[in-house]
Structure 1
Amino acid sequence: MAFRGVLSLFVCLLATVYAASYDGVIRAVGDGRYEAYMIPPNKANHASFIEQLPDGQLTLAWFSGTKEGADKCSIVVAHLPPNGTQWSQAALISRRDGYSNQNPVLFYDSKLQLFNLFHSQQPANDGEHQAKVWQLVSKNNGLNWTAPVEIFKVDGSFDRNRIISSLDGGLIFPIYYSVSGDSHQDSAMKLSSDHTDWVGYKVDDSNYLVQPSVIRPTPKQSYLLSYFRDRRAEHIYSSSSTDEGKSWSKPQKTSLPNNNAAIQSIVLANGHVALVYNPTTRARNPIRISISLDGGKTWTYAKDLESSSSDNVEFSYPSLVQSPDGFIHVSYTYNRDTIKYVKFMENWIHQ
């Protein structure tokens, strides 16, 4: 009995210390990395997205609720001021009774000087086939937001990855459709010349391939590359476009595995391509960042951001951005308990 009592006390103390780290404070890890754990508003937290504003502020958005797909699952945002050392407590910005909000996408529109947040919304506990995409706008860097407005009204509409600019000054918004069954899920691009109205273009032969992450490997060149999540949990796929996202080559397998979980890619300031993903076809663990020196064709460097010997943990749904000082900022789901934030320079990956 005495042993059990001591063990129970130890577990309670350990849990208290562990939970206390969910405080948003950025701490040096000691190997050139810094990390923080967001303050979780609710029990289940997932699908984060990170964006940097022109003044240097970082903003994180994710969905939080009792569980994914549940009633009142909400979109929340937290902020990190320029040179800040602690993320703010998350603020609730979009919730609807009887519905579940998911997959926030942040985008600062420098042309209109507006901060946008897009997210999917579906009837609670009813799957993804009736999802739509909604939009909120902030004129003061995320301090206040407009009421959500439905913009993509086709059943099964979903967003996930970063909006990029087209060469003519318009926008390219990668989306996907989740209708019924994995084989009836595919990808599309929404294009907008005025940053307001959107025209859709389907990615042909993209059955099973969702959540496209689009990059422009070389600035000012009309060549786009997209990476796709594979619903069959086999490979990351890629496809290219030479007409600013209107048409795409037939998606092909890459050398990288996929576990039917989200990925995200960006082009770094030096032209290298960074991709964060789970390097497995099984569990959502580990989570890894890889670097390509040749525009996303091959991957020279790779390093795990997080790993565990257990398959019963989850590190998933990454988002990343690079700040002007060279730091790479990554956020990802930390076992659904909270969202983890890490930052590091590219040379940390090369070590």
Structure 2
Amino acid sequence: MQYPKLPGLTWDGTIYENEEMGVYEALLPSGGYPTAHAPAMLELPNGDLLCCWFAGSYEGSADVHIICSILPKGSTKWLPPEDISNDSTRSEQNPSLFYGPDHKVWAMYTAQLDRQEGKDNMQYTAVVRCQKSSDGGKTWGPYETYFPEEGTFCRQPIQVLSNGTWIFSNWICTDSLEGLSGDPTVFRISYDEGKTWKTVMMPKSNGHVHANVVELESGHLVAFMRNREAYRIHRSESFDWGETWSEPVPTSLPNNNSSVSAIKLQSGRIAIAYNPTCTPSPQPGKASWPGLRCPVAVALSEDGGQTFPMIRWMERGEGYMGDENKTNNKQYEYPYIMQSEDGMLHLAYAARTRKGVKYIKFSEKDILGEKREQVGLYNPTAAKSH
């Protein structure tokens, strides 16, 4: 497939080849909305890619809703986004996509009450809803409330474990003066493909949210989490299919109190996309918002997330360096990473201070620094041999 060369990169979804970085990238069509945030992706059985995110005036406002763009298989251009949700009384946020056993695309997302005078954050009113598409993301049916407990929030998609168990990461928001620092992680577990769910709490997980579940081996799970103290990405383990979890402990990767995304690659490595910045002086139990959400990096681990010796910056922002210049960079945040069947990696994140969503396509070799024989070609069979 031939991609046009940079310069280019306009907000029309056209994918360009960035020869300097050795990747392919696009700015997705905005749909005319002033802000975009929290993208998620999914590969369909026919090879199409979906990317959804929330768009509207600003996070927390009732005009914010979920939209979805499609990259048809073999195309070099993302299509203009279509509406998924549109409840005019609630701010609909943090979508995730899942291909269900009913052969429909499930869009799971939060829906919280509109902003109220004197209230900075209404996340404690959120519920989790689901809408489904029978035509590959072109049109969507009405919503169903899956988790009505107020304060329920989500970000990562439903994961299907090797024994068929479903696990869906949530956290519970409260109306707290501590700035969301008390939010604990919970898991919804289903043994009947989402018909019924049980709730499992992660111990001592207050302030640890956005859990990304990865199955290392049969029944052995790890979860990588955002840390409200803006200190480090944290890690927890389960050895019984998610029924019990260890207390979260910090990894070596910085976290700036922004979303992270973790997956297990075909090679067996763990990949985490994140902002490699943190607050210099975390306060135990206190949420911190250092503000800097640039650059975006992808780190690889070969020991289940204990260490991350391989890290590459995939987004450099405007390129400013040093404490005196770093605020000149715009914000690039909430990355979502996935791997398609052909072995390629796909990364999406809110770009240019939530002006829109940026998409990057690359290979595991691009992170490792290994030379590919020809830019744009990738051998997933070879990748599995690492």
TM-score (norm 1): 0.91
| Letter in structure 2 aligned against 1:338 | G
Report the Cα offset of residue 325 of structure 1. Answer: 1.5
Secondary structure, counterpart of 1:349 in structure 2: helix
Match of 2:126, as an amino acid? A
1:19 deviates by 10
User: After the TM superposition, which residues 40-189 of structure 1 pair with which residues of structure 2 at under 5 Å, given as runs?
Assistant: 40-41=30-31, 42-109=33-100, 111-126=101-116, 127-179=122-174, 180=176, 181=178, 182-189=180-187
**How far off is 1:347 after superposition?**
1.0
Provide, for residues 75-105 of structure 1, a one-character-per-residue CA deviation record: whole Å limited to 9, x for no partner.
0000011121000101111011121110001
Structure-2 residue corresponding to 1:236: 233
Q: Does 1:301 align with 2:291?
A: no
Deviates more, 1:307-316 or 1:112-121: 307-316
Q: Provide closer, same or farther for how the CA distance between residues 19 and 199 of structure 1 changes in structure 2, counting only shifts above 3 A.
A: farther
Helix, strand or coil: the match of 1:216? strand
Instruction: State the alpha-carbon separation in 2 of the partners of residues 142 and 286 from structure 1.
Output: 30
* Structure 1 residue 169 displacement after superposition: 1.2
1:35 aligns with 2:25: yes
Q: Select between 324-333 and 311-320 the one with higher mean Cα deviation.
A: 311-320
The 1-side partners of 2:210 and 2:64 are apart by 20
Residue 286 of structure 1 and its aligned partner are, at CA, apart by 0.9
The answer to whether the Cα contact below 8 Å between 1:227 and 1:239 also exists between their aligned partners in 2 is: yes
The one-character-per-residue Cα deviations of 1:221-262 (angstroms, maximum 9, x if unpaired) are: 110000110111111110000111121011111111110000
Find the aligned partners of 1:19 and 1:262 in 2 and give their Cα distance. 28
Equivalent residue, structure 2, for 1:247: 244
Q: 1:33, CA displacement in angstroms? A: 0.2
Aligned-partner Cα distance in 2 for 1:142–1:40? 17
Deviations 1:269-306 (A, max 9, x none): 11011000011114111110001122221112111111
| Residue 300 (structure 2) aligns with | 291
Contact persistence 1:162–1:214 (CA under 8 A): no
Q: Which one has the bigger strand percentage?
A: 1
For residues 142-170 of structure 1, give each alpha carbon's deviation from its aligned partner in whole angstroms, at most 9, with x where no partner exists.
12211111111111100101321123312
The code of the aligned residue for 1:292 comes to S
Asked if 1 retains the 8 angstrom alpha-carbon contact of 2:48 and 2:73, the reply is: yes
1:190 to 169, 180, 188: 188
CA distance in 1, matches of 2:8, 2:202: 43
Separation in 2 of the partners of 1:211 and 1:29? 31
CA RMSD across the alignment: 1.6
State the shift of 1:211 in Å.
0.9
Is the CA contact 2:225–2:233 (under 8 Å) kept in the aligned structure 1?
Answer: yes
- Which residue type is aligned with residue 318 of structure 1? P
Is contact 1:32-1:345 (8 Å) kept?
no
Could you say what secondary structure the match of 1:22 adopts?
coil
Given residue 228 of structure 2, which amino acid in structure 1 is its aligned partner? R
One-letter amino acid matched to 1:67: Y
C-alpha deviations, 1:30-66, integer Å up to 9, x for none? Answer: 1420000011120010000011111111000000001
The residue number in structure 1 matching 2:205 is: 206
Paired residues of 1:217 and 1:296 also in contact (CA < 8 A): no
- How big is the shift at 1:307? 2.0
Distance (whole Å) between structure 2 residues aligned to residue 339 and residue 141 of structure 1: 20
**Which whole-Å CA distance do the structure 2 matches of 1:288 and 1:167 have between them?**
29
Using the TM superposition, give the Cα deviation of residue 172 of structure 1 relative to its aligned residue in structure 2, in angstroms.
0.6
Deviation of residue 23 (structure 1)?
A: 0.6
**Map of 1:321 onto structure 2:** 338
SS in 2 for 1:94: coil
Secondary structure, aligned partner of 2:365:
helix
Contact 2:9 2:26 survives alignment (8 Å): no
Q: Distance in 1 between matches of 2:131 and 2:181?
A: 31
Query: May I ask how many residue pairs the two structures share in their alignment?
Result: 332
Runs of 4+ more than 3 Å apart: none
Question: Which residue does the alignment assign to 1:9?
Answer: none
Between the aligned partners of 1:120 and 1:71, the Cα distance in structure 2 is: 12
